[in-house]
Amino acid sequence: MGVSQSAYYDWLKRPGKLIAAEELTLRRRMKELFKRSRSSLGSREMMKKLREEGFEIGRYRVRQRVAYKVTTKRNFSDSVADNLLNQNFNPTGPNQVWAGDVTYCRTGEGWMYLAVVMDLYSRRIVGWHIDKRMTADLVSKALMKAYNLRNPPSGLVFQSDRGSQYTSRRYRKYWTATRCEPVWVT
């Protein structure tokens, strides 16, 4: 079964956890409501629906655990740009400072990664790209869309975390071609 002998014996020593019938009924109902909403029902709406069905429940007990995916890992052999912003995220005009990040979204096709580029002056998304894989290509395409849409002047500063996509050779090569200045902020 792929379990070590010590883990098996440790499991044998642990007492079984009993779940009350009411708790089991509640959990099953919550799971069903969440599934019917196509995994979009928030804690407030879940609480309302359960109260309508006669359950006495608060928001804290209704909250669901959300799957977490790490989106920032970097290869420490890749170089990292200097921190030029010093926490100053309020540029005086458009196309002076852009910021980028990667997040993930659950879709009908499974988990998809979304890379966005935001102009920090207007706080608008100026470029984005979505893909099944979180690669340097993902963030490069988001930057290309932003660059082609805005055609920023030379000297644009780009802020991102130090994720592997942003520190890769491929991404840095693209930056050189766009005449922009990549930076990172922790």
Query: What CATH number has the domain bearing residue 139?
Result: 3.30.420.10
Q: What is the mean pLDDT of residues 53-57?
A: 90
The range of the structural domain enclosing residue 17 comes to: 5-62
Q: Which residues pair with 98 in a beta bridge?
A: 119, 158
Classify residue 129: in a domain, yes or no.
yes
| Three-state secondary structure call for residue 154 | coil
Percent of residues, the chain, with pLDDT higher than 90: 15
Q: What is the mean pLDDT of residues 1-21?
A: 82
Q: What is the mean pLDDT of residues 133-138?
A: 86
- Both 56 and 102 in one domain: the answer is no
The two beta strands, 157-160 and 97-107, are: parallel
- Both 39 and 101 in one domain: the answer is no
Classify residue 83: in a domain, yes or no.
no
Classify residue 136: in a domain, yes or no.
yes
Q: Domain count of the chain?
A: 2
What is the per-residue pLDDT across 90-117, written as a single tens digit (0 to 9) for each?
778 898 888 888 888 888 888 899 999 9
- Both 55 and 101 in one domain: the answer is no
Residues 6+ apart with CB under 8 A from 94: 119, 121, 122, 150
pTM: 0.53
Classify residue 80: in a domain, yes or no.
no
Q: Which pLDDT score is estimated for 24? A: 85
- Both 102 and 171 in one domain: the answer is yes
